[in-house]
Amino acid sequence: MRKAISILFGTAAALTLCCMTAAADDVTVDTSSAVETADGVSLSVSSKDLAASQFKEDTKITVSCTETDSDASPVKLVLNYWHADPDVNSGMGEPASAEVEAAEFQDGKAVFDAASIFEALGDNELSMVYSIDVCAVDKAVTCTGFEASDVYSRAEMSENDILYAKWVHPRKPKETDNWGQSISVGVDQFDTSAMTEKTWVIAIYEAELPENIPSAPVEFILQSTDDTVSPKAKNGTVWGKVSPVLFNDHMALFDYADMVDAYGTDDMSCVSTVYVGDTGNGKIKCTDLYVLRCKVLDRELPAEPVVSEAPAEESSVVELLTPPSSAVHSEAAAAVENDSSSKAEKGSVKSNLVLIIIGAVAGIAVAGVILYIILGRKSRETYDVNSHKFVKK
């Protein structure tokens, strides 16, 4: 009897511990998309799943892999970030990468510490890292696990204004001219509500342009089709066109202040799609979109991502998917965010979680008491074969 009660209360304790563990500031990344490689990227981790700006001084990243017999680590980390160099591309900077060697390797697990990551980035900001790659080193390996311990939670990032970067890589961008749109990006890939006054949006494109063009070859467009906030909305529709503040023949930088001016308000919660299109100066094809210094919104992403859709007048939609693996680039970053009003909701969720735990423990305790009474009663009775009843001993 005592054993049964111990099992019941042990189960309740385990349930409580699991709930507490789930709230810890550790991140486990899904590795089901990892591939075997000897000289490339086995797994790409986007800022959607883990942002480098979540790292603390005591953060450790543990990468598990299929190679267990090596003396040295068969994997390394490659941090992909935007290098904001004022001397490059008219002050816009460029994509860059930094390699990080494992601090230790044992039993198929490579451990990377925060000090090595900070050293590899040098003076570059953690908030500019948009993806982290697990790369093979001279041996065929598959990443089977990726865990980051002791990191800032999303709630802490939101409360402390810790920013991060996103990267969108269109799988099939269109070549366009005559004021067409090369890519369309839905809110599931880029939630404009996450932008801040410090945000830059940088479009990378291939172009066929005449010499000495009079204006920028590309534009950034904010669209909403059911708008209730912008003073520029006409029948619920806004088509806000933004010109870049800096550009050259393959790159353009768009400033947040210009976006607010074009859209009519800094409340962009109604924006459903953004575009990169040409301005009639020649053919362009947008290949990448970087969104730098984004904030974490209180809301969470839906369980199923929203499908990016073009407006009715558009002939097709550009699909957005994870790009092929490379040592410099990793999968497209999507937003980890939602609408404001969430602090009350988060408090409600925590309260509900506590009530659920208390209810579960109480239910198990009541079941134990009932079981104790039933078994205790049966232990004081015996079965009479003649009367076919239980009788007192």
User: What percentage of the chain carries pLDDT values higher than 70?
Assistant: 70
Check whether residue 154 and residue 210 sit in a common domain: no
Q: What range defines the domain where residue 13 resides?
A: 1-24+347-393
Decide: pTM greater than 0.85.
Answer: no
Secondary structure (3-state) at 186 = strand
Please report whether residue 121 resides in a domain.
yes
Strands 109-113 and 129-136: unpaired
Average pLDDT over residues 8-22: 42
If one compares 3 and 282, the residue with the highest pLDDT of the two is: 282
Do 305 and 381 lie in one domain? The reply is: no
Q: At which of 122, 138, 162 does a domain end?
A: 162
Question: In angstroms, rounded to a whole number, what is the distance separating the alpha carbons of residues 118 and 52?
Answer: 10
Evaluate whether residue 110 is within a structural domain.
Answer: yes
Rounded Cα–Cα distance for residues 131 and 18 (Å): 29
The predicted pLDDT at position 212 comes to: 80
Q: Is the pLDDT of residue 130 over 80?
A: yes
For range 231-254, the mean pLDDT: 95
Cα separation, 12 vs 5, whole angstroms? 11
Q: Considering only residues 118 and 344, tell me which one the structure prediction assigns the higher pLDDT.
A: 118
Per-residue pLDDT band for 206 (boundaries 50, 70, 90) equals very high
Q: Which residues contact 204 (CB under 8 A, 6 or more apart)?
A: 250, 251, 286, 287, 288, 289, 290
Q: Are 62 and 132 members of one domain?
A: yes
User: Is 328 a member of any domain?
Assistant: no
In a domain, 341, yes or no: no
Cα-only R_g, the chain: 28
> Is 99 part of any domain?
yes
Of 80-89, 300-309, 314-323, the one with minimum mean pLDDT is 314-323
Task: Judge whether 336 lies within some domain.
Answer: no
* Cβ–Cβ < 8 Å for 203, 287: no
248 and 139, same structural domain? no
In a domain, 333, yes or no: no
DSSP string, 221-255: EEEESS-SS-TT-BTTBEEEEE--SEE-SSEEEEE
Residue 101 has pLDDT above 80, yes or no: yes
- CA distances in angstroms from 210 to 217, 248, 282, 339, listed in the order given: 10, 12, 7, 43
Residue 199, judged by CB atoms within 10 A of its CB (0-12, 13-18, 19+), counts as buried
Per-residue tokens: 105: 């390797």
Residue-level pLDDT at 337: 38
Of 101, 129, 162, the last residue of a domain is 162
**Nearest-CA neighbor of 335 among 277, 268, 286?**
268
Domain boundary among 113, 129, 162: 162
User: Which pLDDT value is given to residue 368?
Assistant: 63
Same domain, yes or no, for 114 and 10? no
Number of domains in the chain: 3
Q: In which residue are the tokens 């925590």 written?
A: 350
Kindly state whether residues 278 and 365 are assigned to the same domain.
Answer: no
Residue 236's CATH number: 2.60.120.1070
In a domain, 374, yes or no: yes
CB count within 10 Å of CB 169 equals 23
What average pLDDT does the segment 272-279 reach? 96
Same domain, 140 and 39: yes
Per the model's pLDDT, the better-predicted residue between 60 and 11 turns out to be 60
Domain check: are 51 and 157 in the same one? yes
Q: Give me the count of residues in the chain.
A: 393
pLDDT of res. 366: 61
With a cut of 80, say whether residue 355 has pLDDT above it. no
| Helix or strand run (H / E) with residue 317 | none
Confidence of residue 321 (pLDDT cuts 50, 70, 90): very low
Lowest mean pLDDT across 83-92, 209-218, 341-350: 341-350
pLDDT at 236: 93
Greatest alpha-carbon pair distance for the chain in Å reads: 111
Q: Are residues 286 and 239 in the same domain?
A: yes
The answer on 217 and 307 residing in a single domain is yes
Same domain, 97 and 153: yes
Helix residue spans in the chain (DSSP H): 2-22, 114-121, 154-159, 256-263, 342-379
Same domain for 242 and 383?
Answer: no
Indicate if the alpha-carbon torsion angle 114, 147, 134, 132 is positive or negative: negative
